[in-house]
């Protein structure tokens, strides 16, 4: 029997996740705890139209002992989907989460693309998917909502010259919601995932709004560069995050090689361990690494470590590379990019030019070798195609990041699995909201929902009873 809690027929606040992807945002909310240690939020419906994303959502819900049937595979532009969502939620949710696909707002690629592609980007139908989100806010009247997207939303405009961020905020306000913050001048907030313990400098735009008539609270920052902000820890570094994972070397790809060359490369590959997709967990390496890192690293490793001692390590496999790429990755100094090779003053770097086979006109930093002692740069969906911007800092490995490494960089635990095949997994991980950042947002909303003096109902909203 479900006990009544502050006016709710549930044990915790009810969450609807729209454009859910693989569920990074709602998973972060699930991690929020009450003072007594109970879950503060429960996912009652997650809506996503992509097959592999839905399979990933269901599998990980099952692994956490949650109901996988809350996942609804459906297109939000279909009016029937709205009706089913309302029915599944019994007409009542406390928080709506989500953000439409970010590709139509992304500043990576389209803005520097040929004119034909730029024109298509300017007229992308996905720009208007936020209206489906707003319609469900109107129907369900949650106490809170969270809307997330890339920074490109701050600058892209419609045909009338209106910024899309302003259109979204206006629509949300017209539904009766407060978008202001108590200590911030805008109706949106830019959050850097690294400020919340994620080993990645990833900035995204969030609109947090409520219909309680109170100002919103920004999530509490827990980390800063070097711990320079009082009361915060230094950023979690790449070494903290992935330094324990087993050593791998990429296999050399066979494309374009003669039969004689293929025989030679096959012999070379036989000597290179590229990893396997499912192996026993590397507990000995994990504990040895945890004992070496600083407090922020230990906290991160506690977060991502599997819950079970018989866990398996999945997705830690080096992708294949051309021989020239492997040679390049070995010789590039950590922290350098292809821009340094082509436009820098170091003659030793200039000698690496012949190893780069791609056209550098579009992206001068198409190759980037990361540093151990810094967070990673923003991971994104393009990793599905190549990982050249994410070269491992260890020259002896001379490869790009694995699926598991990218998952850790996004703060997904090691027992979180991804149901898409092969390199397609990178796309879903790159598009997700990091769970550690999502948890911080959930905690800030929970504090407001639990504040004294809020009435139980306001214009039909589901609010806590006091």
**Looking at 12, 45, 102, 462, which residue is catalytic?**
102
Give the closest residue to 384 by CA, choosing from 430, 417, 419, 416: 430
Q: Would residue 376 show up in a list of annotated catalytic residues for this protein?
A: no
Determine which helix (DSSP H) or strand (DSSP E) holds 234, and give its type and residue range. Answer: strand 233-234
C-alpha angle 292-295-296 in degrees, rounded to nearest 5: 110
Question: 10 vs 2, 15, 47, 118, CA distance in Å?
Answer: 6, 12, 21, 48
What whole-number distance in Å separates Cα of residue 458 and Cα of residue 413?
38
Q: Distance between CA 417 and CA 60 in Å, rounded?
A: 7
Residue 393: other Cβ atoms inside 10 A: 20
Q: Which of 275, 312, 301 is nearest to 415 (CA)?
A: 312
d(CA 58, CA 47): 11
Q: Which residues contact 122 (CB under 8 A, 6 or more apart)?
A: none
Contact 177, 171 (CB under 8 A): no
Residues 6+ apart with CB under 8 A from 105: 127, 149, 150, 152, 153, 156, 164
Q: Which two tokens stand for residue 19?
A: 């454009």
The C-alpha atoms of residue 87 and residue 159 are separated, in whole angstroms, by 36
| Residue 402: count of CB within 10 angstroms of its CB | 27
CA distances from 138 to 84, 98, 134, 397 (A): 15, 15, 6, 52
* CA triple 195-196-197, angle to 5 deg: 100
Residue numbers annotated as active site: 102
């Amino acid at each position: 029997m479900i006990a009544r809690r502050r006016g709710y027929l549930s044990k915790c606040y009810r969450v609807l996740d729209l454009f859910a992807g693989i569920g990074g945002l709602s998973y972060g909310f699930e991690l929020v705890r009450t003072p007594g240690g109970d879950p503060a939020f429960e996912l009652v419906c997650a809506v996503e139209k992509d097959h592999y994303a839905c399979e990933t959502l269901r599998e990980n819900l099952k692994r956490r002992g949650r109901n996988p049937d809350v996942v609804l595979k459906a297109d939000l532009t279909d009016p029937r989907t709205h009706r089913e969502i309302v029915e599944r939620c019994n007409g009542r949710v406390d928080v709506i989460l989500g953000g439409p696909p970010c590709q139509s707002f992304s500043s990576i690629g389209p803005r520097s693309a040929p004119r034909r592609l730029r024109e298509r980007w300017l007229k992308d139908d996905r720009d208007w998917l936020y209206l489906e989100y707003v319609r469900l806010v109107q129907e369900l009247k949650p106490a809170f909502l969270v809307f997330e997207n890339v920074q490109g939303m701050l600058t892209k405009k419609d045909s009338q010259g209106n910024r899309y961020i302003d259109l979204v905020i206006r629509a949300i306000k017209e539904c009766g919601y407060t978008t202001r913050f108590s200590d911030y001048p805008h109706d949106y907030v830019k959050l850097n995932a690294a400020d919340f313990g994620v080993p990645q400098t990833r900035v995204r735009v969030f609109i947090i709004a409520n219909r309680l008539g109170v100002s919103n609270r920004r999530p509490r920052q827990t980390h800063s560069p070097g711990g320079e902000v009082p009361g915060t820890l230094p950023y979690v570094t790449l070494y903290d995050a992935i330094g324990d994972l087993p050593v791998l070397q990429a296999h050399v790809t066979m494309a374009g090689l003669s039969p004689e060359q293929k025989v030679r490369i096959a012999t070379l590959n036989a000597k290179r361990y590229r990893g396997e997709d499912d192996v026993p967990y590397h507990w000995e390496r994990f504990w040895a690494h945890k004992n070496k890192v600083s407090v922020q690293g230990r906290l991160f490793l506690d977060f991502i470590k599997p819950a079970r001692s018989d866990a398996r390590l999945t997705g830690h496999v080096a992708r294949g590379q051309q021989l020239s790429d492997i040679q390049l990755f070995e010789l590039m100094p950590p922290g350098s990019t292809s821009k340094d090779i082509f436009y820098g003053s170091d003659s030793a770097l200039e000698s690496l030019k012949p190893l780069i086979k791609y056209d550098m006109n579009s992206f001068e930093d198409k190759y980037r070798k990361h540093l151990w002692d810094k967070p990673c740069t923003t991971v994104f969906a393009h990793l599905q195609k190549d990982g050249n911007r994410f070269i491992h800092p260890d020259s002896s490995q001379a490869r790009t990041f694995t699926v598991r490494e990218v998952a850790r960089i996004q703060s997904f635990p090691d027992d979180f699995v991804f149901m898409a095949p092969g390199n397609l997994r990178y796309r879903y991980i790159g598009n997700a909201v990091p769970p550690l950042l999502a948890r911080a947002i959930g905690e800030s909303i929970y504090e407001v929902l639990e504040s004294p003096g809020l009435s139980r109902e306001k214009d039909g909203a589901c609010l806590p009873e006091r």
